[in-house]
Amino acid sequence: MPQSVSPDGTIRVEFDVQTGRMSHEIYSPRVVSVPDGEVLVSLWGTQWDASAQFEQPGTVRLSLRHYDGERPGFAVEIDARARTFSFADAPVEKHPLARFEKLIERKHAAQERYAPGRPGEPPTGKLKLLLYALLLAGIVFVLLNVFGVKLLG
């Protein structure tokens, strides 16, 4: 079983390796507090794939991706001492580790179906607004011509 241990020796991340489609390996993490052996977070047996980085003592950053592959991944920061975590894009808001799995599932479900810039991505934002405006202008043009209003010549 692959694992990573924090430089300060307080956190161990163990990975349960599963094989997905086309021999893709899924590394589902389990975060353990080394001093007392407590499992802080476990995603073993799930479709969550992760990598771990240790940036500060007593913390681990997990870069998570769900194996369905249709939504972008995100990162979480786990504070082993405080028994809390935060999403990397909202580091001020701390959540208890007891809600970890529920909240990452909720964040995953709320994400856009396609990652930005991906081929075949549906238009969003300003591009979508521009396309609607062009469609509306085309409809108005056709209706005016149908009812005999001459716009061009």
Residue 68 — φ and ψ, nearest 5°?
-60, -25
Q: Are residues 42 and 75 in the same domain?
A: yes
- Quote the pLDDT of residue 61: 97
- Quote the pLDDT of residue 22: 66
Instruction: List b or e across 97-113, with b for residues whose CB sees 16 or more CB atoms inside 10 angstroms.
Output: beebeeebeebbeeeee
Residue 116 forms part of a structural domain: no
What single-letter DSSP state applies at residue 67? T
Residue 14 forms part of a structural domain: yes
Its domain, for residue 57, covers: 3-110
Q: Are residues 66 and 21 in the same domain?
A: yes
- Quote the pLDDT of residue 9: 96
Residue 57 forms part of a structural domain: yes
Residue 117 forms part of a structural domain: no
Residues 6 or more apart whose Cβ sits within 8 Å of residue 112: 71, 72, 124
Q: Which residue has the tokens 């991505």?
A: 121
Residue 115 forms part of a structural domain: no
On the 0-12 / 13-18 / 19+ scale of CB atoms within 10 A, 130 is: exposed
- Quote the pLDDT of residue 40: 97
The pLDDT profile of the chain, 153 residues, written as one tens digit per residue, is 689 999 999 999 999 998 876 667 889 999 999 999 999 999 998 999 999 999 999 999 999 999 877 778 999 999 999 999 999 998 899 999 999 999 999 999 888 655 555 555 555 667 777 888 888 888 888 888 777 766 655
- Quote the pLDDT of residue 12: 97
CB 40 within 8 A of CB 78: yes
Q: Domain count for the chain, please give it.
A: 2
Q: How many residues does the chain have?
A: 153
